[in-house]
Amino acid sequence: MNSKLTTGPATSRRTFLQRSLAAGGATLFPLIVPAHVLGRGGGVAPSNRIVLGGIGIGPRGRQVLSSIITEPDVRYVATCDVQATLRESVKALADEAQGNKDCATYRDFRELLARPDIDAVLIATGDRWHALASIHAAKAGKDVYSEKPCGLTIGQCQALSDTIRSTGRVFQAGTQRRNVPNFQFAVHLARSGKLGRLHTMHASIYKLEVNTSWLPAEPEPPRDVIDWDLWLGPAPWRPYNRSYVVDRRWRGYYDFDSGAKLLDWGAHTVDICQWANDADNTAPVEYRPEGGTVYARYANGVKLVMRPNGWIGQPTATNGAGNFAVGSTGTCPVRFEGDEGWVETGDNGTVELYPAALRNEWRAFTMRGTDPAQHTREFLDCVKTRALPAANYNVMRHSHIACHAAAIAWQLGRPVTFDPVKEEFAGDEEANRMRTRAMREPWHV
Amino acid sequence: MLALALTGQALIAEARAAGPDPEKTRELVAILQSDASLEARARACQQLALVGTKEAVPALAALLGDEKLGYYARDVLEVMPDASAGDALRTAAGTLPGNARIGVINSLGARRDAQAVPLLKQLAAGPGTNEGALASAALLALGRIATPEAGRAVAQALVRGAAGLRPAAAEACLLAADRWLGEGKRVQALAHFEAVRGAEVPIALRAAATRGAILARESGALDLLIEQLHSPELAMRDIALRAARELRGANVTPALVAELDKLEPALQALVLTALVDRGEPGVLGAVEARAATANDEVRIAAIKALGKIGGASSLPILFEAIQSSRGEIAAAALASLGRIPARDTDAIILKQVATAQSGVREKLIGVLGDRRAESATPELMRLALQNDGETSKAALRALGVVARPDELPQLIRLALAVQEEAAKTLADRAIVTTAMKMIEPERRADAVLAEFRGASDPATKAALLRPLGAIVRSMGGSHEVFFAVRAALKGTAEPVREAALRCLAQWPDATPATTLLALAANEGASEEEREVALRGALRMAADVAGGREVSSLDALECFVQAARVVRTREEKLMLVSGLGSVRRPEALRLLQPYLEDAEVQTEAALAVVQIAPALTGTRSAPALNAALERIAATVKDEDIRRKAARLAKGETAPPAAKKKAPKAGKRNAAVAANANAGGASAGRQVLFNEKNLAGWDGDPAVWRVRDGVIVGGTMEGNPRNEFLATKRSYGDFVLRLEYKLVGTEGFVNGGVQFRSVRVAQPPNEMSGYQADIGAGHSGSLYDESRRKKFLARATDEQVKRLEKPGEWNRYEIRCEGSRVELTLNGERTVVYSEADATVARAGLVALQIHGKCKAEISFRNLEIEELR
């Protein structure tokens, strides 16, 4: 198959550093590209420039891309999508931003990954593709920024985490709230003991839902317009309907979405709770569903309450205050309660806390929780230094697995017990079967 | 029968029993073998994946070759622990064609099926492969299974197999070796890592193998790591930097430190960063040396590292570096000083500030702010008063960060003492940010308000109004501050009056609107005062009329008053555009003269067009049509002309919108909204939603909501009677409410009007029955502004016994036909029968605070039950 539609030249940190140190090595690309040819970011030495490609760049992908493409040390040279309209519109956006025509387009991500000049990829496909595309990228030697949820099952998250670790790649999960100041502040209060002994955490989640129906079959469009087989990828086959693809109405479907939608927000909020509880290497051991809420407990006794949006903080008896309006902190709120105080924050930057003395460390937080700017910047820095970013593979693994375990408990409609070391449910065949799902042939992790 | 399309928890709820379920299995298999739709059979498989027993295996095995359902069947067999599932997959792996076979091989790998190894070995080596895809899949399955035999097979394939299969063989070797490394089988793992390292495979795989080899080696790991640091290949240097963070052992950190000087600068900087990430001691010396003098790239990395691991000995280096002429170095040093974890850093920086030269001093002061150095507050306050403008400003900026709310009094005095205008602004800002640190929103203005009240000097009072106004704007309004600022309007000192007026004109809600209008109409006001006040009031009225603010302010009344005093074109514009949101006949009357006014004709026309749909079919229709026709004939803007012409012809909103118009529908909606707000039972309506004064009319400068309670009047003095009235009238009803009246001076009194009307002059008064409250009259029925006398009285003994002065008391008012009853705290005090048939039997309900007293009245739990 040949779906490489256009290509452009590229000079990268990779090719440049390779040559500058390899004596007499073959040169694949012109050695020196004059700064003015590079347009934006021409002031950044080629040795510091990161060459980036994107896979499945939709609305969220564009938000992330627009925060990356404005960095002076980035060149976005390739974009891949199974939809022709999307790959063309992203190319147009990138070319416009970079003042050239260099962004190549691909239908099949494997061809993009085969390009030796690309250092890193941004993956923002639908959830069903995240883990597999990330794994392919890592094996091809690319660093990865992947939107969340990064894996559709516990098994996918394990395989992704293992692959990133063993290939030595830099991986940043798109859980950008790790790099948003008000969330960092709330976590700091919890971890530094300023709330006393932490006992309960609250993580907002989407309303839980599983939809197993199929939309009516429609004729498949030509492959170079929409490649339905590649859109499905590792997901179970079902007949084509444009609504999944063009309208992006795949959320909530058991075959395409993760954990009964719990991970849509849980991947962010549970992740922040894991961090606050210093639990980045573990997960809760008990999960009890009740209505739309899942109550979980860590081995250290700390409780984690996952419940839907429209979430209101519940002040405990010890705090004596806490009457604030619904949603006063915005979307994706988290709340940490200790025996000496509590803190709650969300996407609009507001921080509610008790006692007032905690506010001495507070400052005005203006960055929104949905803003990935600092998160992508950290990723780019780590591509250079090879350090672990904030939402690295290990952080992703445990917070995603915690979410999946909670979603499994909810889907089963009964409590489950989880062993975070073995990453399995204790003597519970039914729950354990739900840890993995087969991938449609020929795909595998 | 199982439902097809399941949502919610139903996926599992149908098979709730924990674990495999034979009965469900039989039902599901029956579906599989029926002629049910594809979707139904796919669903049956997905449920079997969770509850299926081995009895399902034959039916599933039969489906494995099915183009559409093969995947679904395999999905079940992959997760089913029973051995028969593995048997079925192995059988299929030997027979199925194409992709289906690859899928089955993948599943055998996922199951880590040791019995499949011989078969997979054959497939990995066998001829007739689908361009290597089948053999590759078999190799990867073997790598995943990772028994010793499988391990040998993949290693052999790497060495002796077809060149095209080498990458797959290498991946398989890495899979097995990673597993073994995790299980502590280092020797076994190392052999495979080394094999891949030496193979002709893509560099990404060799790099991964190199990492594995470094971690698996018992000896020589460090040598291999350092060798890779010197590799000409970026991928290898990158992997060394990763392994430098992962490799454990006491000798690693010292060896890497020793290696630093042998590396070219860019790499040296990266290794330095990796060393810091290792978090082990023995690095600081090397970092400090490079932070002091080194190649710029290395130096910057070292300076950044000091921000993470620096100690007291690092501070002089950073002090030196912030003076560097290289901007990047100075910036890195400042950032590191802002976070360095060394003890006593704040105190040392403070000392440094004392001797630092101008330029550096300001930077160091900024660092104190970055560090949230609370202990520096006294010194920062001293510095803020220094003559050097830049130092003073830097100190004020830092104070905005470090000062605590309990230090506000000192901060306020400081703000009053600074001279320079720019410094004053910064001082005010510091006050505001510090005040906003208070956790209780309603207390954020307290400190500045206390100083404001206590100040006698007009200049001080005027100066304090700036931060006070800014705090109120940040906190979103405060009646306590409003009353104080309004009082200042009446002061004698010109600067105070002016500052108070500006403060009120910029108020974040509509509270001062009536106050500002009165001022604008005052003949003694200067032109500037009139202008500021009027514009403020017009903005507030427009916000309320446009629905941007919920307020009890009568926006139309504001516009009526404003219309009497508007002068400039801009004021007229504000007036007519605000009226465009008032969909009432009075608005049309107010707009009409402006249709003739060349300055604002277009905007007035637009406003008329906006309100026209609400007025068609009302008594104002003739006037409206005349206006529209005039607009259609004269206004310049074509779009407006066209719209006016259409409206004049009776083409209004689409029919759907018209249906909503009937009055009854509106009322029902309002009742429903009330019921929703308070959750009252059927028949009873909650009159007050505990959040805002929606549904009420009254001066927001007098009436407000505090802690879910309606409050009227102030302890600072109430000049005249004020009423908060419902927007609709009630005839026969039972009204229940609780009131609390507190006061200090004057005629401390209030009441509850019913079956009442507002009177035209003076506009603050009402006429009708009043259930009296306070001044000894509680429980009595008074006739306000009408007969001006008590119609029936509670006895003094009753009032004394029943009422709890200054606390919450319950009132029940019952009106049925001519009969009026009042009940105070459960005891009937008045039964009155109206003899005068001309007295209205319906009207507004209203809450009163009496004039000429210093008092506050509160109402809560207001509920009305209409009879019949």
3-state secondary structure of B629: helix
Q: How high is the pLDDT of residue A235?
A: 97
- When pLDDT is cut at 50, 70 and 90, the band that residue B4 belongs to is very low
B778, B806 Cβ separation under 8 angstroms = no
Question: What does DSSP say about strands A74-80 and A50-55: parallel, antiparallel, or unpaired?
Answer: parallel
Average pLDDT over residues B572-576: 94
For A354, the token pair is: 């008790």
Average pLDDT over residues B224-246: 96
Paired residues of B725 in beta bridges: B697, B846
Helices (H), A233-334: 242-245, 262-276
- When pLDDT is cut at 50, 70 and 90, the band that residue B81 belongs to is very high
* Strands lying side by side in the sheet with A342-345: A351-354, A342-345, A334-338, A198-205, A303-308, A293-297, A286-290, A416-419, A424-425
- When pLDDT is cut at 50, 70 and 90, the band that residue A43 belongs to is low
- When pLDDT is cut at 50, 70 and 90, the band that residue B666 belongs to is very low
Helix axes B421-435, B389-402, angle to 10 degrees: 10
Average pLDDT, rounded, for chain A: 86
B6 reaches A (C-beta below 8 A): yes
Average pLDDT over residues A291-299: 93
Q: What is the rounded CA–CA span in Å between residue B727 and residue B700?
A: 15
For B25, the token pair is: 């299995």
- State the nearest Cα–Cα gap between A279 and chain B, in angstroms: 19
Mind listing the pLDDT tens digit for each residue in B627-658? 999 899 888 888 889 889 888 887 654 444 44
Q: What is the rounded CA–CA span in Å between residue B206 and residue B200?
A: 9
B767, B756 Cβ separation under 8 angstroms = yes
Mind listing the pLDDT tens digit for each residue in A66-119? 999 999 999 999 999 999 999 999 999 999 999 999 999 999 999 999 999 999
Res B135 pLDDT > 90: yes
Q: What is the rounded CA–CA span in Å between residue A236 and residue A1?
A: 23
Burial B533-569 (b: 16+ CB within 10 A, else e): bbbbbbbbbbbbbeeebbbbbbbbbbbbbbbebbeee
**Cβ A139–B274 below 8 Å, yes or no?**
no
Residues B19, B21, B25: CA angle, nearest 5 degrees? 130
- When pLDDT is cut at 50, 70 and 90, the band that residue A320 belongs to is very low
| B-chain residues near A239 (CB < 8 A) | 38
3-state secondary structure of B186: helix
> Which of these, B707, B742, B754, lies nearest to B443 by C-alpha position?
B707
Q: How high is the pLDDT of residue A349?
A: 86
- When pLDDT is cut at 50, 70 and 90, the band that residue A309 belongs to is low
Helix axes B494-505, B479-489, angle to 10 degrees: 140
> Which of these, B367, B371, B311, lies nearest to B341 by C-alpha position?
B311
Q: How high is the pLDDT of residue A11?
A: 53
Average pLDDT over residues A126-134: 97
| B-chain residues near A166 (CB < 8 A) | 174, 178, 208, 211-212
For B270, the token pair is: 């990266």
**Cβ A363–B233 below 8 Å, yes or no?**
no
**Cβ A430–B205 below 8 Å, yes or no?**
no
Helix axes B98-111, B70-79, angle to 10 degrees: 10
Q: How high is the pLDDT of residue B321?
A: 96
Q: Which residues have C-beta within 8 Å of that of residue A58, sequence separation ≥ 6?
A: A86, A124, A125, A248
From B269, which residue of chain A is nearest by alpha-carbon distance?
A: A385
Which of residues 257 through 286 in chain B touch A, CB cutoff 8 A?
A: 266, 270, 273-274, 277
Res A143 pLDDT > 50: yes
Q: Which residues have C-beta within 8 Å of that of residue B42, sequence separation ≥ 6?
A: A214, A236, A238, B68, B69, B72
Mind listing the pLDDT tens digit for each residue in B801-813? 999 999 999 999 9
| B-chain residues near A167 (CB < 8 A) | 204, 207-208, 211
Paired residues of B865 in beta bridges: B684, B734
% of chain B residues with pLDDT over 90: 74
Q: How high is the pLDDT of residue B156?
A: 96
**Cβ B211–A166 below 8 Å, yes or no?**
yes
B445, B471 Cβ separation under 8 angstroms = yes
Q: How high is the pLDDT of residue A284?
A: 98
Amino acid (one-letter) located at B441: P
Mind listing the pLDDT tens digit for each residue in B174-211? 999 999 999 999 999 999 999 999 999 999 999 999 99
Mind listing the pLDDT tens digit for each residue in B446-488? 999 999 999 999 999 999 999 999 999 888 888 999 999 999 9
Q: How high is the pLDDT of residue B54?
A: 96
Which of residues 206 through 245 in chain B touch A, CB cutoff 8 A?
A: 207-208, 211-212, 232-235, 238-239, 241-243, 245
Q: How high is the pLDDT of residue B867?
A: 85
Give CA separation, A152 vs A112, B282, B519, B868, in Å: 23, 43, 66, 61
Res A30 pLDDT > 50: no
Q: How high is the pLDDT of residue B128?
A: 52
Average pLDDT, rounded, for chain B: 90
Q: How high is the pLDDT of residue B61?
A: 97
Q: How high is the pLDDT of residue A45?
A: 73
B331 reaches A (C-beta below 8 A): no
Average pLDDT over residues B817-840: 90
A 10 A CB-CB count for A32 gives 9
Q: What is the rounded CA–CA span in Å between residue B753 and residue B840?
A: 13
Amino acid (one-letter) located at B731: G
**Residue of A58 and B492 predicted with greater confidence:** A58
3-state secondary structure of B315: helix
Q: How high is the pLDDT of residue B716?
A: 85
A80, A108 Cβ separation under 8 angstroms = yes
Res B754 pLDDT > 50: yes
Mind listing the pLDDT tens digit for each residue in B547-560? 888 888 999 999 99
Q: How high is the pLDDT of residue B838?
A: 87
Q: How high is the pLDDT of residue A12?
A: 59
B174 reaches A (C-beta below 8 A): yes
Residue with tokens 């404005």: A70
> Which of these, A20, B157, B857, B440, lies nearest to B149 by C-alpha position?
B157
Mind listing the pLDDT tens digit for each residue in B269-287? 999 999 999 999 999 999 9
Torsion angle of C-alpha atoms B811, B812, B813, B816, degrees rounded to 10: -170
- pTM, rounded to two decimals: 0.75
Residue with tokens 């002309």: B641
% of chain A residues with pLDDT over 90: 71
- When pLDDT is cut at 50, 70 and 90, the band that residue A20 belongs to is very low
- State the nearest Cα–Cα gap between A93 and chain B, in angstroms: 31
> Which of these, B193, B238, B241, lies nearest to B216 by C-alpha position?
B193
Q: How high is the pLDDT of residue A69?
A: 94
Q: How high is the pLDDT of residue B658?
A: 40
Q: Which residues have C-beta within 8 Å of that of residue B716, sequence separation ≥ 6?
A: B483, B484, B487, B854
Q: How high is the pLDDT of residue B694?
A: 87
- When pLDDT is cut at 50, 70 and 90, the band that residue A148 belongs to is very high
B691 reaches A (C-beta below 8 A): no
Nearest to A385 among B273, B374, B405 (CB): B273
- When pLDDT is cut at 50, 70 and 90, the band that residue B762 belongs to is confident
Q: How high is the pLDDT of residue A147?
A: 97
Q: How high is the pLDDT of residue B37?
A: 96
Q: What is the rounded CA–CA span in Å between residue B691 and residue B574?
A: 29
Q: What is the rounded CA–CA span in Å between residue B96 and residue B123?
A: 12
Range name among A417-421, B6-10, B307-311, B776-780 with the lowest pLDDT average = B6-10
DSSP, res A177 = G
Mind listing the pLDDT tens digit for each residue in A231-283? 999 999 999 999 999 999 998 899 999 889 999 989 999 999 999 999 999 99
B110 reaches A (C-beta below 8 A): yes
Mind listing the pLDDT tens digit for each residue in B50-79? 999 999 999 999 999 999 999 999 999 999
Provide DSSP, B574-587.
Answer: HHHHHHTT--SHHH
- When pLDDT is cut at 50, 70 and 90, the band that residue A325 belongs to is very low
Mind listing the pLDDT tens digit for each residue in B510-532? 999 999 999 999 988 899 999 99
**Residue of B383 and A39 predicted with greater confidence:** B383
